[in-house]
Every structure is written in C-alpha cells, then in structure tokens.
Amino acid sequence: MGFDQYHEPPEELPAETRTFARLCASLEEESQAIGWYQQRLAVEPDAEARAIMEDAQGEEFKHFSMDLEFLLRRTPRWRQIAEGVLFQDGDIVEHGEAAEAESGEEGDDADSAGAGDGSLGIGSLKEIP
C-alpha cells in the first residue's frame, strides 16, 4: 500500500507533515534493509556475494543517514536530543536521558512551538508538483 505512512487522513495533513511522514517511512525502510543485509552477511560464505552485499549495505547506510539528517533539520527538538546522544563517548542511556531532560526543560520553558530553538518551526514551504 502506497499510503501506509499516514496514520491520519492525508487530506487533513499539512504538506510539510506529509513530507515528514514520507521521510519517516523511508528511514524505517532503510534501517530494515540494513538489518536484512546484516543477517545475509552473517550467513553468506561466498566472498564475491558478500562483497556485493557489503557494498549494498553501504548504500543503505548513506540513505538512512540522509533521511535522518533531513528529519533532524526539520525537527529542532529531535535534533537537540540527537546532538546529545550521537557521536558521544560514554553511556548511551545516560546521554539520552540527559539530552531529553535538557530539551524538556526548554520545552516547558515557554516553547510551545515544540522546536528546541524556540522558533515557530516554519522552515521550507516549497512543494514540487
């Protein structure tokens, strides 16, 4: 089904939310593919086949990363939490809890827009037909 990414009636959703949902669906598909390749690589004995699958998995890493970066740019609070977790040494859970708490403080602190930077979260309004 082509419209499974929508949880609410698409016609009631603003364009930017539809775009956001499409990229969330894409992120999910890329991570699923990464997991599949990981499993195939774990059982494949043929070196040539493994090389192809490793190359393909690298493509999925790239796609996943691009999807994630797009979503983080459009979601300041998500970006703020991610900055506290990604590429950090140490305890992942501790970093996650701290980053969430910090963003929550700003969120409670008169940030009704839900954007970590306090902006209105308008961003791009461009729609390509």
Partner 1 sequence: MNHLLRGHAPLSDRNWKLLDEEARQRLQGALAARRLVDFSGPHGWEHSATNLGRTTLIGTAPCDGVVAAQRRVLPLAELRAEFSIALSELRDDDRGAPDADLEPLDRAARQIAIAENVAVFHGWEGAAIGGIAEASPIEPRPLGESGEDYPRSVARAVEALRERGVEGPYGLALGPDEHLHAIETAEHGGYPLMDHLAKILCDGPIVWAPGVRGAVVLSLRGGDFLFESGQDLSIGYSHHDSEAVHLYLEESFSFVVATPEAAAPLSS
Cα 72 → chain centroid: 7
Binding pattern to partner 1, positions 102-121, x when CB under 8 A? ----x-xxxxxx-x-xxxxx
Task: Name the minimum Å distance from CB 16 to partner 1.
Answer: 9
Question: For residues 47 and 128, which CB has a smaller minimum distance to partner 1 in the complex?
Answer: 128
Question: For residues 38 and 119, which CB has a smaller minimum distance to partner 1 in the complex?
Answer: 119
Of all helices (H) and strands (E), which one includes residue 104? helix 92-108
Q: Is 128 in the site for partner 1 (CB under 8 A)?
A: yes
Q: Which DSSP state fits 118?
A: S
**C-alpha atoms less than 13 angstroms from C-alpha of 85 in its C-beta half-sphere:** 18
Question: For residues 1 and 110, which CB has a smaller minimum distance to partner 1 in the complex?
Answer: 110
Out of 50, 73, 86, 97, name the contact with partner 1 by CB under 8 A.
Answer: 73
Question: For residues 38 and 65, which CB has a smaller minimum distance to partner 1 in the complex?
Answer: 65
Q: Is 127 in the site for partner 1 (CB under 8 A)?
A: yes
Question: For residues 89 and 109, which CB has a smaller minimum distance to partner 1 in the complex?
Answer: 109
Longest dimension (CA), the chain: 58
The answer to whether residues 99 and 84 touch, using CB atoms and an 8 Å cutoff, is yes
The answer to whether residues 57 and 34 touch, using CB atoms and an 8 Å cutoff, is yes
The answer to whether residues 23 and 70 touch, using CB atoms and an 8 Å cutoff, is yes
The answer to whether residues 103 and 116 touch, using CB atoms and an 8 Å cutoff, is yes
Q: Is 125 in the site for partner 1 (CB under 8 A)?
A: yes
User: Which residues contribute to the site for partner 1 (CB under 8 A)?
Assistant: 73, 76, 106, 108-113, 115, 117-129
